[in-house]
């Protein structure tokens, strides 16, 4: 084994990949409930990077240094039996720069599904009045769609596609403004409003920006799904999401990692902003481990509403059947 050290950012990403992998294997509904012994962490890092760690102090130091850099806690050191200990994810994940790390492999799978849908849009929703290679997207707030923006940005220098992207997602805007992104192929439209540091989005006159626009895809994530109804955590964001869902024109796509599905109604006092049946497509990650979780139960519960369209080894896309009346 090599004695070189792993870059801090690569280490943190690898740890979140490990937690995402364990989420697929274990029955926990929340990734925040998963405990990983430090010896398993060391073995994973050695296998992934070919680096041998005789102790754990360097790993913990790198974690704390990264947390200080971003200004948020990400991990907790949890005692186990004897002198042993392990890692859990910080239980209070509220800010965007915390949440974007969660369920990372599931988010990447869903983003790959969205990008595949985009490249085949002429088959799903034929475009009119624009060049065939231009795609018009509305990308809503949330951490999952950041990974879609990352894929589009990464492909911008060699993909033949042109994009018109409407978004109030600050992380998406920042990703497209990074170096090496071909902005000659990407046009960004953003609304006026105030910046919300928790949701990392622009909250304000959003719907005025989206009026009278024919979108090829309108992509939305949620915080909770229960009994076919959907919520977000913050009331201010809920109204904007409801307006986007009701007032915009285009293929409405709901994206889930799975943890959003609940067996009990959420404690949020504000009402749901929509229903599963309001969308045209549902996109979820494929879990090869096949654990029976709330997501699987939801798919069975709404089997009359969901028609399998694409079953990929990475993701699943369902067509949502519109009910009469």
Report the distance separating Cα 304 and Cα 321, nearest Å: 8
Can you give the pLDDT of all 325 residues of the chain as single tens digits?
445 578 899 999 999 999 999 999 999 999 999 999 999 999 999 899 988 776 788 889 999 999 999 899 999 999 887 778 999 999 888 778 888 889 999 999 999 999 999 988 755 454 555 555 789 999 999 889 999 999 999 999 988 889 999 999 999 999 999 999 999 999 999 999 999 888 899 988 778 889 889 999 999 999 999 999 999 988 878 889 999 999 999 999 999 999 999 999 887 678 899 999 999 999 999 986 766 789 999 999 999 999 999 999 999 999 999 877 5
The pLDDT assigned to 123 comes to 52
Q: Where are the beta strands (DSSP E) in the chain?
A: 36-37, 75-79, 85-89, 134-139, 162-167, 186-189, 193-196, 201-204, 214-221, 224-226, 229-231, 249-255, 274-275, 281-285, 306-311, 315-320
Let me know whether 291 and 313 are in one domain: yes
Q: H or E element: which one contains 237?
A: helix 235-247
Let me know whether 62 and 103 are in one domain: no
Report the distance separating Cα 18 and Cα 39, nearest Å: 13
Report the distance separating Cα 35 and Cα 84, nearest Å: 12
Last residue of a domain, one of 66, 93, 120: 93
Let me know whether 138 and 49 are in one domain: no
Q: 88 lies in a domain?
A: yes
Let me know whether 192 and 220 are in one domain: yes
Let me know whether 74 and 104 are in one domain: no
Let me know whether 142 and 253 are in one domain: yes
Domain extent for 146: 98-320
Q: 2 lies in a domain?
A: no
Q: What are phi and psi of 169, to 5 degrees?
A: -90, 110
Report the distance separating Cα 171 and Cα 143, nearest Å: 8
Question: How many domains does one find in the chain?
Answer: 2
Let me know whether 238 and 141 are in one domain: yes
How many other C-beta atoms are found inside a 10 Å radius of the C-beta of residue 89? 23
Let me know whether 56 and 122 are in one domain: no
């Amino acid at each position: 084994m090599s004695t070189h050290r792993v870059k801090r950012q690569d280490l943190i990403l690898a740890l979140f990949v490990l937690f995402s992998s364990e989420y697929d294997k274990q029955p926990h509904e929340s990734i925040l409930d998963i405990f990983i012994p430090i010896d398993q962490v060391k073995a994973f890092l050695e296998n992934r990077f070919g680096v041998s760690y005789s102790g754990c102090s360097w790993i913990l130091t790198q974690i704390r240094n990264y947390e200080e850099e971003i200004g948020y806690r990400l991990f907790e050191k949890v005692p186990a039996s004897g002198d042993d200990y392990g890692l859990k994810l910080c239980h209070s994940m509220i800010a965007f720069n915390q949440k974007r790390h969660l369920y990372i492999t599931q988010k990447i799978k869903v983003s790959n599904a969205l990008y595949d849908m985009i490249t085949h849009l002429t088959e799903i929703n034929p475009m009119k009045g624009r060049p065939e290679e231009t795609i018009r997207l509305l990308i809503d707030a949330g951490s999952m769609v950041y990974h879609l923006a990352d894929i589009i940005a990464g492909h911008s220098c060699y993909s033949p596609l042109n994009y018109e992207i409407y978004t109030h997602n600050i992380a998406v805007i920042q990703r497209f403004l990074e170096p090496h992104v071909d902005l000659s192929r990407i046009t960004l439209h953003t609304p006026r409003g105030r910046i919300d540091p928790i949701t990392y989005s622009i909250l304000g006159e959003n719907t005025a920006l989206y009026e009278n626009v024919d979108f090829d895809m309108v992509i939305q994530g949620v915080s909770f799904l229960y009994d076919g109804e959907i919520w977000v955590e913050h009331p201010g964001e809920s109204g904007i999401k409801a307006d986007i869902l009701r007032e915009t024109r285009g293929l409405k796509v709901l994206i889930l990692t799975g943890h959003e599905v609940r067996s009990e109604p959420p404690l949020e006092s504000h009402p749901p902003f929509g229903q599963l049946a309001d969308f045209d497509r549902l996109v979820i990650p494929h879990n090869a481990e096949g654990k029976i979780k709330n997501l699987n139960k939801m798919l069975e519960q709404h089997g009359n509403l969901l028609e399998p369209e694409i079953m990929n080894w990475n993701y699943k896309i369902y067509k949502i059947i519109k009910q009469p009346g």
